[in-house]
A and B are shown apart, each in its own frame.
Chain A
Amino acid sequence: MNARPLTVLAPLLLALASCRAPVSPPAGWIELSVPAFPYEYQYVSADDSRLGYRVVPNDGEGDLGFWCRSIQNQLTLNRGYELVSMSDVETEGGMAGKELLFRTSAKGVDYVYLVAFFPFTPFLGSPKLALLEAGGERSILEPELDAVRAAIRSLR
């Protein structure tokens, strides 16, 4: 399948769809009516796992490798997170991105933290990154990571 039309259409669709929820959350998760700052949308499970979405500027139009390394450095060097995996990810609409999975602990509790990002340029706009972050207690969220990844791939 020729992906070129999709890579052209996907940002436009993302811009046009900006007024509705950007992802289909995992089954059983709900959308918070008032997301915590700085998220534009936020979803939560009954076990308090979270998924947050926001769009940030892509200053300098960094590519996937640049932002991958930046996020990794920020979280490992400054925050002491442990990088578990890094992989390519593509949405159902054809947007190419990267996913990084981390582990950390806070106040004696082990957490997993997943961040996925997708560079795009909105119609008549400047370059951006669609950013999705998922986090929760490791024992609770790890079994649900496949469902979270499916939600990330549903990004529109």
Chain B
Amino acid sequence: MARDQDAPKSDGVIMSRLGDVDDLTVAVDDSLNKAQGEADDADLQGSRQGADLPAKRMVVYSASYRLRVTAADEAAARTRSLVEELGGFVQEESTDRMVVRVPVDRFEEARRRLAEVGRVLQHAIKAQDITEEYTDLELRLGVKKRFLAELQALYERGGDLADLLTVKREIDRVTEEIERIEGRMRFLAGRAAMATIQVDFDAVTERTEPGGRDFDLPFPWLRSLGIHNLMSGRAGR
């Protein structure tokens, strides 16, 4: 079917009559590539031309702690209490491990207060910058939504049944892609909004020498001796 040369244009994509969905798809791919190229240029030049960058960087914070405590259940209760006080929640809990989420602006405070729950044997902190991925998703989402709007307009104009079915399939496909992108963006935003902290409790056994002296030579590796670390298949990695 011949293309209508006088069809209106939208964002550089030529509106076409039914039967030219393939052309429309090619045109949108060009639009995607153009948008990606502009984003790459913006990244290289350090400017925001042609790309909508988030107002600030998006970083996912996580930390892990191994605490020596006298009683794991008591330490877990204290941890739960302080996490809830900071506006967070317990994501996972087992006999000697908790995974908690706290608002990212309370992350430092959570770390400081966790160190008071027990003696810190090991700790690690990680910051993962997801700004680039999020920006890319935003760009793709914008292009997909524009394409969807044009497909819907094509569909509403009606026409041959076979053409309508083709357009409908494209609408369904693009809708699914949009939902996937939005879902991923929600996931990343959620991870950036709430920091994750894993806490392992290393409880001292009940049997101690009479007098209960806390032996503590200044050699960190001594503290990591024992069954717990050796039998753990997950610590630290």
Contacts and interface: CB of A to CB of B under 8 A. Distances in A.
A46 B219 CA distance: 33
Contacts of B208: 77-78, 80
Contacts of B204: 78-80
Interface string A102-116: 001111000101010
Interface SS of B by simple majority: loop
Contacts of B237: 34-37
A66 to B, nearest CB: 10
Interface string B90-129: 0000010000000000000000000000000010000000
B215 A77 contact: yes
B33 to A, nearest CB: 40
A113 B229 CA distance: 12
Contacts, number: 91
A50 interface: yes
A32 B217 CA distance: 31
B207 interface: yes
Interface string B62-89: 0000000000000000000000000000
A77 B226 contact: no
Contacts of A38: 122, 221, 224, 229, 236
**Range of interface residues on chain A?**
35 or more
B156 interface: no
Interface SS of A by simple majority: mixed
Contact of A36 (B209, B227, B236): B236
**Range of interface residues on chain B?**
20 to 34
Contacts of B235: 36-37
B233 interface: yes
Interface stretch (A10-18, A20-28, A68-76): A68-76
B228 A106 contact: yes
Contact of B236 (A37, A56, A104): A37
B234 interface: yes
B125 to A, nearest CB: 15
B230 A52 contact: yes
Interface string B197-226: 000000011111100011111010111111
8 contacts: A36-B230, A39-B229, A56-B221, A75-B225, A80-B206, A81-B205, A104-B226, A111-B227
The 7 A-B pairs of least Cβ separation, nearest first, read A37-B236, A80-B207, A80-B205, A77-B215, A56-B221, A135-B230, A74-B222
